[in-house]
């Protein structure tokens, strides 16, 4: 079992990426009770934004130098798409029945995919993303790719920054208030429209960071990556307790570890030989989700709240 550290590390890295994306779902849901199914595509746009930055930089630029530019571009594109989605797809439906924005979100996600498919050069097949050269780094018995180090640094930095923002700044506290009760918050003089846009923007910014991490990790991106990423991140958000920022991170990590460990070890359990391996990882991830929700319907870190009347 000496590959356990390796599988744990892989699961943790994958989970950190899911978690970063899940934060976008969770924040938006926490404030407007909307499941933004287009969030995966916002991440996908970020990835293409990062790639564009790389292509625009002079050839031969070192990746370490290019990375800040790519990051800024990815986050910028994601935030723009996120704010645009809020302004044009969701705000007009703010007071509509809950189902309407959900359907809009699905429509928006398909539209965003097709935009890249139609207009981004050569995006009909996978595009290669720049990667760090050099050997992997050994850490506590596990090999970590250089590209993955980015994620291991970025995820905690983002979390701490977000935690500080929500707890200490005026806007952060206004966000907490809005998420508890938007109507009362409005009566207290909080500009809820601005708060909602902020939530979208922060979620999208984290998505942009995750997009760069995705590109560096896998070395290729395509117009479809948002779908599975979005689904996994949504699962992570629900697993951790949707609406809870730390829950999103915990849910992501749990999901990543579950996928990694299930692929590696389930087939060694006697009688389960047929159900292990790579093709089954999503099955086990979702079995885990169902089990957790059966025991704790509010998710791992979620609070039990009475349904709004």
Binding site for another protein (CB under 8 A): 2-3, 6-7, 10-11, 13-14, 117, 124-126, 128, 131, 133, 136, 143, 145, 218-220, 222, 225, 228, 259-260, 263-264, 277-279, 281-282
Looking at beta carbons only, is 227 or 246 nearer to another protein? 227
| Residues comprising the chain, all counted | 309
**Min dist. Cβ of residue 171 to another protein (A):** 35
229 contacts 21 by C-beta, under 8 angstroms: yes
Residues 6+ apart with CB under 8 A from 132: 63, 64, 145, 146, 147, 216
How is residue 6 written in tokens? 């390796």
220 contacts 126 by C-beta, under 8 angstroms: yes
Rounded Cα gap, residues 152 and 203, in angstroms: 19
**Min dist. Cβ of residue 222 to another protein (A):** 7
255 contacts 13 by C-beta, under 8 angstroms: no
Looking at beta carbons only, is 22 or 190 nearer to another protein? 22
Looking at beta carbons only, is 218 or 286 nearer to another protein? 218
| β-pair partners for 137 | 144
**Min dist. Cβ of residue 34 to another protein (A):** 27
Looking at beta carbons only, is 18 or 25 nearer to another protein? 18
SS3 label, residue 169: coil
Looking at beta carbons only, is 131 or 191 nearer to another protein? 131
**Min dist. Cβ of residue 226 to another protein (A):** 12
Residue with tokens 């829950």: 247
Residues 6+ apart with CB under 8 A from 164: none
**Min dist. Cβ of residue 296 to another protein (A):** 26
**Min dist. Cβ of residue 31 to another protein (A):** 30
Looking at beta carbons only, is 33 or 282 nearer to another protein? 282
């Amino acid at each position: 079992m000496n590959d356990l550290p390796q599988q744990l590390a892989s699961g943790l890295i994958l989970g950190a990426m899911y978690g970063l994306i899940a934060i976008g779902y969770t924040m938006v849901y926490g404030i407007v009770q909307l499941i933004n199914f287009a969030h995966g595509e916002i991440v996908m746009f970020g990835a293409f934004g990062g790639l564009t930055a790389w292509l625009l930089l002079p050839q031969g630029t070192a990746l370490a130098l290019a990375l800040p530019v790519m990051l800024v571009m990815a986050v910028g594109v994601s935030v723009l798409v996120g704010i645009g989605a809020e302004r044009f797809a969701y705000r007009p439906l703010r007071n509509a029945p809950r189902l309407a924005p959900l359907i809009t979100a699905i429509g928006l996600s398909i539209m965003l995919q097709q935009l890249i498919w139609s207009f981004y050069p050569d995006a009909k097949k996978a595009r290669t993303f720049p990667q760090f050269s050099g050997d992997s780094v050994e850490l506590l018995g596990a090999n970590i790719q250089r590209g993955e180090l980015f994620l291991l640094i970025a995820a905690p930095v983002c979390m701490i920054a977000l935690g500080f923002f929500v707890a200490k700044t005026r806007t952060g506290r206004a966000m907490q208030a809005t998420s508890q009760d938007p109507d009362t918050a409005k009566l207290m003089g909080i500009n809820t429209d601005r708060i909602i846009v902020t939530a979208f923007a922060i979620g999208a910014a984290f998505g942009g960071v995750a997009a760069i991490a995705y590109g560096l990790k896998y070395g290729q991106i395509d117009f479809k990556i948002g779908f599975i990423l979005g689904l996994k991140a949504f699962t992570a958000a629900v697993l951790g307790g949707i609406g809870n920022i730390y829950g999103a991170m915990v849910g992501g990590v749990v999901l990543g570890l579950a996928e990694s460990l299930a692929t590696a070890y389930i087939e060694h359990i006697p009688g389960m030989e047929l159900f292990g391996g790579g093709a089954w990882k999503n099955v086990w991830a979702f079995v885990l989700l169902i089990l957790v929700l059966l025991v704790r319907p509010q998710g791992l870190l979620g609070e039990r709240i009475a349904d709004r009347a």
